[in-house]
Amino acid sequence: MKKDEKFDVNKELSGYIDDMAPPASDAGDDSGGRKYGFVGAVRYVGKDFGHDLLNGDIYECIAIERGMLRIIDNMCLLEGDRIGYLYSAQNPGPLFGGDGETGRWEIYLDPERRLKELIENPQSAVLY
């Protein structure tokens, strides 16, 4: 990417979103050997923070863990990381630091309706 070229997360995710799932060989693997796959896609609505989440951009969710969404954010895409970062399902934003202002997720693609259940009903987090 050129220095003055704008990073377009929607363009980067288009192949995954169009196919509804990444190829199995692209699934991330954390140090514990856990495989991640495609859960859905969400649009972040809120104040930009850093280059991680930008208002209006669409992000791939690869897992639901302890009521949080494991998201492939902009930093993951820039670094080629398929492990992702955990974000709150109801109030996404920086976990530490920042001004305390958070955003929200809009569901973009949810083939198994797991994201809708978790985002709209936080009590369902005990199921995941």
1 assigned to some structural domain: no
pLDDT recorded at residue 25: 37
Three-state DSSP at 69 gives strand
Give the integer Cα–Cα distance in Å for 63 and 40: 9
The domain total for the chain is 1
31 assigned to some structural domain: no
2 assigned to some structural domain: no
* 12, containing H or E segment: helix 9-19
Which domain range does residue 71 map to? 9-25+36-127
80 assigned to some structural domain: yes
4 assigned to some structural domain: no
41 assigned to some structural domain: yes
69 assigned to some structural domain: yes
Look at residue 9 and tell me whether its pLDDT is greater than 60: no
pLDDT recorded at residue 120: 87
pTM above 0.75?
Answer: no
Three-state DSSP at 58 gives strand
Query: Which among 16, 121, 101 is positioned nearest to 58, based on CA atoms?
Result: 16
105 assigned to some structural domain: yes
The pLDDT tens digits for 94-124 are 776 667 788 999 999 999 999 999 998 877 6
pLDDT recorded at residue 126: 55
The pLDDT tens digits for 14-56 are 444 444 344 333 444 443 556 688 999 999 999 988 778 999 9
pLDDT recorded at residue 10: 53
